[in-house]
Amino acid sequence: MVKRLLLFIIFIFPLSCIDPYNIGIEEGEQLLTVDGFITNDFGPHTIRLTRSDTYGSVFEGLIRPIRRATVSVRDSQGLVTFLTETEPGTYVTPNDFAAKLGLSYTLQIRLSEGQEYTSFPEKINPVAPIDSVSYRSLQLATDNRLEDRVGVQLVAHFKDPSDQSNFYYWRTNPGMFVVVANPELYTLPPTDPTNPRGPAPKDCCATCYLVENSRLQNFTVASDEEFNGLSTRVPITFIEDNGLRFKDTYRAEILQMGISQGAHRFLRLVNQQLNITGSVFDQPPANIRGNMVSLDNPDEVVLGYFIAASVANKSVYIKREDLEFTAIPRIIPDDCQIVPGATLTPPAGWNP
Amino acid sequence: MKKILLLSFLFTFFFNGWIIAQQRNVVGRDIGELKNLKISGRITDQITGEALVGATVTVREINKTEITNSNGTFNLVLDRAEYILEFRYVGYETVIYPMIAVGEGRINLTMIQEDFTLDDVVIFGRDPEQNIRSTDMGAISISMNTLKELPPFLGEVDIIRSVATLPGVSQVGEASSGLNVRGGGADQNLIMFAGAPVYNPSHLFGLFTAFNPDVVNDFTLYKAIIPARFGGRGSSILDIGPKSGSLTRWGGDIMAGTVSGKASVNGPIVKDYLSAQVSFRGSYINWLLNSLNNPDLRTSQANFNDVNAILYGEINENHNLTYSFYRSYDDFALASDTTISWTNQSQSIRYSGRFGEKANLDIIGFQTLYDFTIFNQSGINNFDLKSGITDTGLRVNFTYDIGVKNRISIGGDTKQLTIQPGELIPDAGSESGVLPQKVQNEYGRESGVYFQHEFELGEKFGFTYGVRYDYYQYLGPRTVREYAENLPINSGNVIGERTYGDGEVIQTYDGFGPRVSMRYSLDSKTSIKAGYNKMYQFIHLISNTATIAPTDVWKLSDQFIRPQIVDQYSLGIYKNFKGNIFETSVEVYYKDIQNVVEYKDGARLLLQNNLETEIIPGVGQAYGVEVYAKKNLGRTTGWVSYTYSRALRRVITPFEEEIINDGEWFPANFDKPHDFTMIGNYKISTLTSFSATFSYSTGRPVTFPEAKFDFAGNSLAYFRNRNLQRIPDFHRLDVSLNFKLQGKGKFFDGDWTFAIMNVYGRKNPFSIFFADQAGSPPQAYRLAILGVPLPTLSYSLKF
pLDDT above 50 for B18? no
pLDDT above 80 for B397? yes
Residue A14: which of B292, B765, B769 has the nearest Cβ?
A: B292
Q: What is the per-residue pLDDT across A291-332, written as a single tens digit (0 to 9) for each?
A: 999 999 988 999 999 999 999 999 999 999 988 888 888 888
| Position B524 confidence tier, pLDDT thresholds 50, 70, 90 | confident
Nearest-angstrom CA–CA distance, B509 and B563? 8
Chain B residues whose beta carbon lies within 8 Å of the beta carbon of residue A305: 711
pLDDT above 90 for B160? no
Q: What is the per-residue pLDDT across B546-564, written as a single tens digit (0 to 9) for each?
A: 666 666 788 999 999 999 9
Chain B residues whose beta carbon lies within 8 Å of the beta carbon of residue A11: 791-793
Q: Identify the residue with better confidence: B749 or A270.
A: A270
| Position B2 confidence tier, pLDDT thresholds 50, 70, 90 | very low
**pLDDT value, residue A14:** 44
Nearest-angstrom CA–CA distance, B531 and B519? 9
Q: Which chain B residue's Cα is nearest to A304?
A: B711
Q: What is the per-residue pLDDT across B32-73, written as a single tens digit (0 to 9) for each?
A: 778 888 888 888 877 666 777 778 888 888 888 888 887 788
**pLDDT value, residue B546:** 64
Chain A residues whose beta carbon lies within 8 Å of the beta carbon of residue B703: 284-285
Q: From the CA of A147, how many Å to the nearest CA of chain B?
A: 11
**pLDDT value, residue B620:** 94
Determine the average pLDDT of the residues in B606-614. Answer: 86
**pLDDT value, residue B774:** 65
Contact B777/A60, CB-based, under 8 Å? Answer: yes
Nearest-angstrom CA–CA distance, B780 and B546? 19
| pTM, full prediction | 0.81
Q: Whose CA is closest to B479, among B500, B505, B506?
A: B500
pLDDT above 60 for B15? no
Instruction: Encode burial over B199-223: b for 16+ CB neighbours within 10 A, e otherwise.
Output: bbbbbbbbbbbbbbbbbbebbebbb
Chain B residues whose beta carbon lies within 8 Å of the beta carbon of residue A143: 293-295
pLDDT above 70 for B279? yes
SS in 3 state form for chain A? CCCCCCCCCCCCCCCCEEEECCCCCCCCCCCEEEEEEEECCCCCCEEEEEECECCCCCCCCCCEECCCCEEEEEECCCCEEECEEEECCEEECCCCCCCCCCCEEEEEEECCCCCEEEECCEECCCCCCEEEEEEEEEEECCCCCCCCEEEEEEEEEEECCCCCCCEEEEEEEEEEEEEECCHHHCECCCCCCCCCCCECCCCCCCEEEEECCCCCCCCEEEEHHHCCCCEEEEEEEEEECCCCCCCCEEEEEEEEEEECHHHHHHHHHHHHHHCCCCCCCCCCCCCCCCCEEECCCCCCCCEEEEEEEEEEEEEEEEEHHHCCCCCCCCCCCCCHHHCCCCECCCCCCCCC
Domain B238-437+455-798, classified CATH 2.40.170.20, yes or no: yes
Q: Identify the residue with better confidence: B741 or B343.
A: B343
Q: Which chain A residue's Cα is nearest to B658?
A: A287
Q: Which chain A residue's Cα is nearest to B600?
A: A286
Chain A residues whose beta carbon lies within 8 Å of the beta carbon of residue B288: 12
Burial class (CB in 10 A: 0-12, 13-18, 19+), A191: exposed
Determine the average pLDDT of the residues in A245-251. Answer: 91
| Position A9 confidence tier, pLDDT thresholds 50, 70, 90 | very low
Candidates A134, A273, A289: best to mutate against B (most CBs of B within 10 A) is A273
Contact A289/B747, CB-based, under 8 Å? Answer: no
Nearest-angstrom CA–CA distance, B616 and B390? 26
pLDDT above 70 for B202? yes
Chain B residues whose beta carbon lies within 8 Å of the beta carbon of residue A277: 769, 783
| Position B140 confidence tier, pLDDT thresholds 50, 70, 90 | confident
Candidates A16, A230, A231, A306: best to mutate against B (most CBs of B within 10 A) is A16
Chain B residues whose beta carbon lies within 8 Å of the beta carbon of residue A233: 380-381, 433
Determine the average pLDDT of the residues in B176-192. Answer: 87
Looking at B600-729, which runs of residues are DSSP E strands? Answer: 615-631, 636-650, 666-667, 674-683, 688-697, 701-702, 707-711, 714-718, 725-726
As a CATH number, domain A27-124 is: 2.60.40
- Domain locations along chain A: 27-124, 127-286+309-347
How does strand A220-223 pair with strand A249-259?
unpaired
pLDDT above 60 for B9? no
- Domain locations along chain B: 2-113, 238-437+455-798
Least confident of A141-145, A168-172, B329-333, B781-785: A141-145
Q: From the CA of B159, how many Å to the nearest CA of chain A?
A: 20
Q: What is the per-residue pLDDT across A100-159, written as a single tens digit (0 to 9) for each?
A: 999 999 999 999 999 999 999 999 999 999 999 999 888 877 666 667 788 898 999 999
| Position A13 confidence tier, pLDDT thresholds 50, 70, 90 | very low
Residue B252: which of A1, A234, A235 has the nearest Cβ?
A: A1
Please, what is the end-to-end C-alpha distance for chain B in angstroms?
Answer: 41
Q: What is the per-residue pLDDT across B412-440, written as a single tens digit (0 to 9) for each?
A: 999 999 999 989 888 876 566 677 888 99
Chain B residues whose beta carbon lies within 8 Å of the beta carbon of residue A287: 601, 718-720
Q: What is the per-residue pLDDT across A15-52, written as a single tens digit (0 to 9) for each?
A: 567 778 877 777 778 899 999 899 999 878 999 999 98
Please state, rounded to an integer, the average pLDDT across all residues of chain A. 85
**pLDDT value, residue A30:** 87
Chain B residues whose beta carbon lies within 8 Å of the beta carbon of residue A286: 601-602, 719
| Position B119 confidence tier, pLDDT thresholds 50, 70, 90 | very low
Contact B601/A50, CB-based, under 8 Å? Answer: no
pLDDT above 70 for A60? no
Residue B380: which of A230, A235, A288 has the nearest Cβ?
A: A235
**pLDDT value, residue B47:** 67
Cα–Cα distances in Å, from B361 out to B194, B322, B353, B355, B401? 16, 14, 5, 8, 12
pLDDT above 50 for B11? no
Q: From the CA of A315, how many Å to the nearest CA of chain B?
A: 20
| Position B592 confidence tier, pLDDT thresholds 50, 70, 90 | very high
Q: What is the per-residue pLDDT across B470-488, written as a single tens digit (0 to 9) for each?
A: 999 999 899 999 999 888 8
Contact B708/A52, CB-based, under 8 Å? Answer: yes
Q: Most confidently modeled of B172-181, B217-226, B334-343, B619-628? A: B619-628
Domain B2-113, classified CATH 3.30.70.100, yes or no: no
What residues form DSSP beta bridges with B596? B618
Please state, rounded to an integer, the average pLDDT across all residues of chain B. 84
**pLDDT value, residue B767:** 80
Q: What is the per-residue pLDDT across B621-664, written as a single tens digit (0 to 9) for each?
A: 999 999 999 887 778 888 899 999 999 999 988 887 788 888 99
Residue A8: which of B723, B747, B794 has the nearest Cβ?
A: B794
Q: What is the DSSP letter of B362?
A: E
Determine the average pLDDT of the residues in B534-539. Answer: 95
Residue A4: which of B707, B713, B747 has the nearest Cβ?
A: B747
Q: What is the DSSP letter of B457?
A: E
Least confident of A37-46, B282-291, B293-302, B600-609: B293-302
Q: What is the per-residue pLDDT across B204-217, written as a single tens digit (0 to 9) for each?
A: 777 778 888 888 88
Q: Identify the residue with better confidence: A60 or B212.
A: B212
**pLDDT value, residue A15:** 52
Residue pair B319/B359 in contact (Cβ under 8 Å)? The answer is no
Q: Is the dihedral of CA A332, A337, A340, A345 positive or negative?
A: positive
Contact B434/A230, CB-based, under 8 Å? Answer: yes
Nearest-angstrom CA–CA distance, A276 and B109? 69
Query: For chains A and B, what is the number of CB pairs under 8 angstroms?
Result: 281
**pLDDT value, residue B120:** 41
Q: What is the per-residue pLDDT across A229-242, written as a single tens digit (0 to 9) for each?
A: 888 888 888 888 88
Q: From the CA of B265, how many Å to the nearest CA of chain A?
A: 9
**pLDDT value, residue B19:** 33
Residue A273: which of B380, B717, B777 has the nearest Cβ?
A: B717
Q: Whose CA is closest to B76, among B84, B30, B111, B90?
A: B84
Q: Which chain B residue's Cα is nearest to A228?
A: B435
Percentage of chain B exceeding pLDDT 70: 88
**pLDDT value, residue A32:** 93
Amino acid residing at B526: T
Instruction: Encode burial over B693-713: b for 16+ CB neighbours within 10 A, e otherwise.
Output: bbbbbbbbbbbbbbbbbbbbe
Chain B residues whose beta carbon lies within 8 Å of the beta carbon of residue A155: 380
Determine the average pLDDT of the residues in B445-467. Answer: 93
Nearest-angstrom CA–CA distance, B528 and B515? 17
pLDDT above 70 for B296? no
Least confident of A212-216, B174-178, B370-374: A212-216
pLDDT above 70 for A210? yes
